[in-house]
């Protein structure tokens, strides 16, 4: 895999779990060429919104990929992102800011289906497929 790494946004994970044919999902396509990371913010979003009968399978899924914690360094990066977006009147959801900060902190490009939000974050590298 030549050290190709990517942080997948929650939208990519949702797309994977919703598609009946997993081979048509972006996550399925990228997992063959990249090492997959996700933020604990995405884990929170999933576990908060999932039906109770799917919690076990989701926990198993998240145990198989590398999760990045939202730590103090990410919080500082997130505050800078927030202030920059606010100054331009281009605010996005806090969860997206936190995920972007985790990607920046770990020098990872992000893969998302929500390009409109993430393209607003200056330092963020976006993997487009």
Domain boundary assignment for the chain: 5-118
pLDDT at position 70 is 96
pTM: 0.90
Q: Find the distance separating the first CA and the last CA of the chain, reported in whole Å.
A: 17
On whether the 5-118 domain is CATH 3.40.50.300, my answer is: no
User: Beta-strand (E) ranges in 9-100?
Assistant: 35-39, 66-68
68 pairs with which residues across the strands? 39
Given a cut of 90, whether residue 80 has pLDDT beyond it is yes
Q: How many helical (H) and strand (E) elements, i.e. helices and strands, does the chain have?
A: 7, 4
Residue range 1-47, pLDDT digits in tens = 566 999 999 999 989 888 889 899 999 999 889 999 999 999 898 88
pLDDT at 48: 86
Has residue 116 got a pLDDT over 90?
yes
Q: Is 107 left (phi over 0), alpha (psi -120 to 50) or beta?
A: left
């Amino acid at each position: 895999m030549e050290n190709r790494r990517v942080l997948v946004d929650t939208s990519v994970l949702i797309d994977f779990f919703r598609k009946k044919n997993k081979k048509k999902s972006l996550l399925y396509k990228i997992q063959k060429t990249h090492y997959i990371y996700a933020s604990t913010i995405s884990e929170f979003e999933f576990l908060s919104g999932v039906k109770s009968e799917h919690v076990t399978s989701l926990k198993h899924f998240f145990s198989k990929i590398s999760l990045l914690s939202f730590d103090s360094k990410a919080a500082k990066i997130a505050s800078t992102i927030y202030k920059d977006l606010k100054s331009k009147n281009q605010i996005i959801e806090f969860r997206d800011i936190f995920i972007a900060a985790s990607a920046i902190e770990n020098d990872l490009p992000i893969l998302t289906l929500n390009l409109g939000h993430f393209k607003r974050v200056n330092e963020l590298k976006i993997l487009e497929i």
